[in-house]
Each structure stands twice: as C-alpha cells, then as structure tokens.
Structure 1
Amino acid sequence: MSKLIKQEKFEVAPDGLRNWQGRKEWFFNRDDTDHYEDYYEGPYKFQEVWQKKTLEELIKQDHRVKTLLEFGCGTTRFTRWWHEIGLEATGGDISPFMLAQGVQLFDGDLVMADSHHMPFKDHSFDALAFVTTFEYYKNPIQVIQEAVRVGKYGIIFGMMNRNTPKLLRRKVQQVFGRNNYYVTAHFYTPASLEALVAKALPDRKYKIEWNATGLPKWFPKKQWKIPYGDFFGFHVQLLDV
C-alpha cells in the first residue's frame, strides 16, 4: 500500500520550534521525538503489552469495525499493531518528525494533518483511534466531533490515566524539566472522559465500555473495572448508524 503525506502549514515559534495551538509541543522537538521508539522498547515494554491487550478486547466487541484511522499515530507504534490484530489501519499525525520515522516503519498510508480538521470525507473509516494523544488537544470536543464524522461506528481511546500514583512523579518531573512529554498534557479519568463525550455528542446514541490497566508489576491483577492505573482503554460505540 502506498504512503501519502499531506503537508500542512504551521506557525514557527521564535526559537525555531514548530508552534501549534499557541504553545510549544514536545512532538515538534527532535530531542524528544527521536527517542520515542526507544522508550517503548525499554522501560515501557511491559506496560505496552497490557495496553494493547486492553484496546484489542474493547475494539473487538464491535464486529462492524474492519478499518481504522489512528490520529496522533506518531511513529506508528500502535498503527502497525492494529494490522497485527486484523484491522486495516491508516495513520495521521501533525508532527513531521514523528511521521518521518513512521514512513520508515509502516507499510500503510499516513497523512500529515490536524486532528481538529481531518482531511477525510464522512464515514471514511469504521472507527477512529487515539492512543496517548487525545490528552494534548486544546479543543477536545471538536476533535471528538470530527472523529465521529470520519469514523462511522465510533472511537477507541488509549488514555494516560489521571488516577495513578505516578501523577505526582509526573508533576515533579515537569517542574525540574526532566520530562517534556507531559508538560502540555491534560490527564483524564474514565468519568471525566465520559462527561466530555456526552458534551460533544448530545444528540447521538452510543454505549461506552472501558477497562483500566498499567498496574504495578507486583499487583495480582493487570486489568480491572476500577478507574485506577496508569492507563485505561475507552471505547465509544455508536448505535444510531
């Protein structure tokens, strides 16, 4: 399958870094993006296994979903994996640095665009996916509305959970400049994301399923329906189509 990169215009900040949403973002900084894959191959490897397991169990509940667009696909870490579980996936991202890696790692189609204005016709895909990227949108309601316009049957979210003991560590790292990845992130819980979806889709009929993971290695359970853990999967399945 061919690769497609659609160029968009961005404002350039005075320090030379790309500026989006009126602020600096780590995914326009090569000092951060060049190490993204290393992070998943290193300390995050164990968590990734359970994140994928959680997302697969949720998306497979809707047998209508055969094609999927992942926005904020980055280096295509998860976009490649959707194919492994039998879904035809396309990736979209706004970062040229992340997509430059993605085109070397992924055989499918990629698009460079803003998630607030997806360059696709209505119902181009069966579903939309956001994996640890939805946290960076300043207008999340608009993004959700765009997602259900383009994704016919709903949205699958993979989210960094606010309800985690690591939240304090994240905050401390930010203060001391030790972790650029979370500086502009807004962390959600299953309850706060559900409330946001209700605001974005007041006239739609849907059901929501979620599951939390990212629990300590020593903990006897790796998934549960309690809203605590580093990560949660969240599936909005549209019922009125």
Structure 2
Amino acid sequence: MQLEQKSFSVLSESLTNWQGRKEWFFNREHTDTYEQWYEGRYKRAEVWQKKVMAQLLGSNPEIKELLEFGCGTTRFTRWWEEIGIEATGADLSPFMLGQAVHLFEGDLVNADSHFMPFKDHSFDAVAFITTFEYYRDPVQVIKEAARVGKKGIAFGMMNRNSPKFFRRRIQQAFGKNPFYVTANFYTPQGLTHKIHEALEGREYTIEWTCTGLPKWFPLQQWSLPYGDFFGLYVHFKD
C-alpha cells in the first residue's frame, strides 16, 4: 500500500507539472466545473465561436472526419456532428476525459499533441479549440497535425488583440485567474508565422475571421484582426 501511494504521488506530480510547469487542466477543482463555465457567462461567446468554425469547415465537403486535440470535456467535439463532421477527441488531461466520457459517445484518446498516436492522414482535418495556446512547442504540434490531418488544420484561438487579454494579465498579477498563467496568446498574424515555420515547403492557403467583439458593437464578426476570438483554417493544396 505504501508503494502504491508513493507511485500515485509521483504520477500526480508529473501530471501537475506537464511541460515542467503547473497547468490548470490537471486540477480537479477546475476540470469538474468546466462545463458549468460554458453554460454561464461564456454562453454567448460560445455561440459566435461555433458560427465562425462552422463557416470555416462546415461548408467544406472534404472534411468528413476530424480529430480535435485538447478536446477537454468535448464541448466542441460533440458539436461537430451538427455541421456534418464525425469527430474524435484527444486530450492529455485524464481529468478532462473523465468528464468527457460521460458526455460524448464517440472515440476519445488520452495523448500528448506533440506526439500524436495516429498514422499519417488518419483524419481529414485536425482541430484545436482554445487549447493551442498552451503548447510549449507549437511548431512541433503543427507538424504533427499536418502529418495526421490530410486536408487541413483548424484553429479556434483566444486573440491577443483584445481588451480581455490585458484584463486577464491584470487578474493574474493579483492571483485571481489561474486559467491563463501558462497560455501564450496569438494574433492571426502571429499564428500564421508559426504555421509558415512549421509547414515550410508545403502548399496551402490560410483563411481566418474574428469574433468576440463587444455586445454593443454593430458587427460581431469581421476580417480585421481584433476581437476576443479568431478562427483560422489551413487548407492543404499538395
């Protein structure tokens, strides 16, 4: 029993410090209430985020099977079916997947996105929804996604070009917001730079659009790089 307790302690510490740092998604206090957060004040933002991702992928007849990495509790993974896409979910956090298994009837995989346990071209596309911000080696993750995804890669991202970015950083300074301490926020241009670095030599096009604008603003989606959220799709041409 003492040996088992010690082994669990070592495992718990390695998960808590994945990538050599503490991550909120290995904390049951946060993962067990993740779905409630979406059903509360974040609901309106989710509606517009899904509209953006549907616009980028839903009208593409090439995308029939998709792998969503960092699927969490499968909030988006469950939704892809509504726009005609069969999804598989993957996540590193066993605590997130512990919630997901009760909510999602499709396939779920516990894995690290830096080393995806799938053969080349296993899916039509790979998607990252508000999870790519947490990867220490984003170029490696993009390379893996390009290997596994046959037609393209989709990103749903928290935008650095947003007043909420500064609010989050101020909250962190006062120890009020644990969710974004290790997050690296991108702009559409910043993410595009990483994509070009990872996919050098390949032929592809990039399409993106922004949402997450204030409720009072006359537009809720546009092609300017400002807003709390942007969707970006890399379409392989080779």
Greater shift after overlay, 12-21 or 66-75? Answer: 12-21
Alignment root-mean-square deviation, CA: 1.6
1:18 Cα offset (Å): 2.2
Residue 150 of structure 2 aligns with which residue? 152
2:52 pairs with 1:58: no
Match of 1:209 among 207, 210, 225: 207
Q: Distance in 2 between matches of 1:17 and 1:197?
A: 28
Q: 2:220 aligns with which of 219, 222, 228?
A: 222
Answer yes or no: is the 8 Å Cα contact 1:71–1:91 preserved in 2. yes
- AA at the equivalent of 1:81: W
| Superposition map of 1:1-241 within 5 A | 12=10, 18-240=16-238
- Structure 1 residue 168, shift from structure 2 partner: 1.3
Hey, what's the Cα distance between the residues in 2 that align with 1:165 and 1:134? 20
Alpha-carbon distance in structure 2 between the residues aligned to 1:197 and 1:216:
29
SS in 1 for 2:77: helix
* Aligned counterparts of 1:12 and 1:63: Cα–Cα separation in 2: 46
1:49 maps to amino acid? V
Q: Share of identical aligned residues, percent? A: 66
Q: Report runs of 4+ in structure 1 exceeding 4 Å deviation.
A: 10-17
In structure 2, C-alpha distance between the alignment counterparts of 1:16 and 1:125, rounded to whole Å: 30
Q: Distance in 2 between matches of 1:85 and 1:185?
A: 29
Please, which moves more after superposition, 15-24 or 70-79? 15-24
Say whether the 8 Å CA contact 1:32–1:180 is kept in structure 2.
no
Q: Which has the higher helix share?
A: 2
Conserved? CA contact 1:92–1:112, under 8 Å = yes
**What is the identity, as a one-letter code, of the residue corresponding to 1:64?**
E
Shift of 1:152: 0.4
Distance in structure 2 (CA, Å) of the matches to 1:201 and 1:60: 24
Contact 2:58–2:84 (Cα < 8 Å) also in 1: no
Partner-residue secondary structure (3-state), 1:180: coil
- Equivalents in 1 of 2:10, 2:50: separation in Å? 35
Q: Is the 8 A contact 2:62 2:151 kept in 1?
A: yes
Which 5+ residue runs of structure 2 have no aligned equivalent?
1-7
| Aligned counterparts of 1:62 and 1:177: Cα–Cα separation in 2 | 43
Distance 2:108 2:16 in 1: 20
Residues 93-152 of structure 1 show CA distances to partners (whole Å, capped at 9, x for unaligned) of 000110000000000000000000111100000000000000000000000000010010
Per-residue CA shift, 1:158-180, capped at 9, x if unaligned? 00000001111100111112111
Normalising to structure 1: TM-score of the pair? 0.93
Aligned length: 231
TM-score (norm 2): 0.94
- Structure 1 portions without partners, runs of 5+: 1-9
Distance of 2:9 and 2:56 partners within structure 1: 37
